[in-house]
């Protein structure tokens, strides 16, 4: 979900998009190219295979009344030449525009969730080309952390500094500020650290997320509890979120996005007794109050 200040005069809300009211809700099909990597590599390899994927995706979006597509991809282990990803995004843009012209319907949105770490940016993206083709880029700054050193990301200041460095690097590489959305966490990172400093991610209750990643409501359940002293909890608290919001506004970035609505404290029960944000959907509601215009 993105909560945006502006996007070519569009203000929307939905998964990976932003909003001010129900009638403007946009449904975005979220496609994760980080799974089934062999299949994804084959799909990207030729223009014919990419076209098959794009045509089927456009048909699916129109059939099921989606308003666009968000593509998540990071070039892990250099399994795909980054130029092929550029081709996929550029060809998607061409197909979307052609389909809109032929059908007379509003063009589908094309967005991308992208890495925040500088090394990952360098090996994954031809920034000017993909920035020109998409409506906006969701920079995964909520995922910036170093599992071997929890102290480096366990404070609002460290979280803020890493996030701003990522945003500035994307802009330096050629992405327009207005197309960049800063990721803000509705989850936390939870680790144990032994006497020798060895870090181990702690599995939460969610079966479909990596060990160490806990939903906001799970994090709140730990705050103020009698957790073991070797437990580290890192999350975007109100201070970190407000710092990021001010940074977004002051630097004219497109807005903010969160990874998943359902990771927030949706009923408001888990975070109500903390000294941080509380109430139903505390992070998302706070972002909406700060950024919706």
How many helices (H) and strands (E) the chain has is answered by: 9, 11
Question: Could you tell me if residue 264 is inside a domain?
Answer: yes
Rounded to whole angstroms, the Cα distance separating 122 from 98 reads 31
- Give the pLDDT mean for 130-143: 92
Question: Could you tell me if residue 213 is inside a domain?
Answer: no
Domain of residue 249 covers 2-186+236-291
Q: How confident is the model at residue 4 (pLDDT cuts 50, 70, 90)?
A: very low
Question: Could you tell me if residue 217 is inside a domain?
Answer: no
pLDDT higher than threshold 70 for residue 29: yes
Question: Could you tell me if residue 152 is inside a domain?
Answer: yes
Cα separations (Å) of 24 from 11, 20, 57, 155, 284?
Answer: 7, 7, 22, 36, 17
Query: Which CATH number do you get for residue 64?
Result: 3.20.20.80
Prediction pTM value: 0.84
Q: How many domains does the chain have?
A: 1
Question: Could you tell me if residue 203 is inside a domain?
Answer: no
CB 24 within 8 A of CB 153: no
- In the numeric block, the tokens 């080309």 are attached to 129
Coil, helix or strand for 212? coil
Question: Could you tell me if residue 265 is inside a domain?
Answer: yes
pLDDT higher than threshold 90 for residue 87: yes
Question: Which pLDDT score is estimated for 202?
Answer: 87
Question: Which pLDDT score is estimated for 226?
Answer: 59
Neighbours of 157 (CB within 10 A): 10
- Give the pLDDT mean for 39-67: 96
Rounded to whole angstroms, the Cα distance separating 261 from 266 reads 8
Question: Could you tell me if residue 84 is inside a domain?
Answer: yes
Q: Tell me the pLDDT tens digit for each residue of 109-125.
A: 999 999 999 999 999 99
Question: Which pLDDT score is estimated for 212?
Answer: 84
Q: Tell me the pLDDT tens digit for each residue of 62-82.
A: 999 999 999 999 987 766 789
Question: Could you tell me if residue 212 is inside a domain?
Answer: no
CB 55 within 8 A of CB 92: no
Q: Tell me the pLDDT tens digit for each residue of 178-226.
A: 999 999 988 888 888 777 777 788 888 888 788 888 999 998 888 866 5
């Amino acid at each position: 979900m993105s909560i945006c200040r502006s996007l070519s005069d569009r203000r929307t809300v939905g998964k990976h998009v932003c909003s001010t009211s129900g009638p403007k809700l946009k449904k975005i099909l979220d496609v994760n190219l980080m799974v089934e990597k062999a299949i994804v590599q084959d799909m990207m390899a030729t223009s014919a295979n990419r076209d098959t994927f794009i045509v089927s995706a456009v048909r699916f979006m129109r059939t099921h009344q989606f308003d666009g597509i968000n593509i998540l991809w990071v070039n892990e282990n250099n399994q795909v030449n980054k130029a092929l990803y550029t081709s996929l995004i550029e060809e998607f843009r061409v197909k979307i525009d052609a389909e809109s012209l032929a059908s007379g319907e509003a063009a589908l949105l094309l967005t991308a969730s992208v890495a925040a770490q500088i090394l990952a940016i360098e090996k994954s993206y031809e920034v000017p080309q993909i920035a020109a083709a998409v409506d906006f880029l969701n920079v995964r700054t909520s995922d910036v952390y170093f599992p071997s050193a929890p102290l480096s990301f366990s404070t609002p200041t460290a979280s803020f500094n890493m996030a701003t460095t990522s945003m500035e690097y994307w802009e330096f590489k050629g992405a327009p500020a207005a197309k960049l959305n800063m990721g803000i966490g509705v989850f936390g990172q939870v680790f144990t650290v032994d006497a020798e400093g060895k870090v181990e991610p702690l599995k939460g209750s969610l079966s479909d997320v990596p060990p160490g990643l806990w939903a906001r409501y799970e994090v709140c359940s730990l705050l103020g509890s009698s957790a073991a002293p070797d437990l580290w909890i890192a999350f975007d608290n109100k201070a970190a979120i407000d710092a990021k919001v001010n940074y977004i506004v002051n630097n004219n970035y497109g807005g903010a996005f969160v990874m998943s609505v359902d990771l927030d404290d949706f009923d408001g029960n888990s975070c109500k007794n903390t000294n941080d944000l509380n109430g139903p959907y505390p992070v998302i509601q706070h972002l909406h109050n700060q950024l919706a215009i």
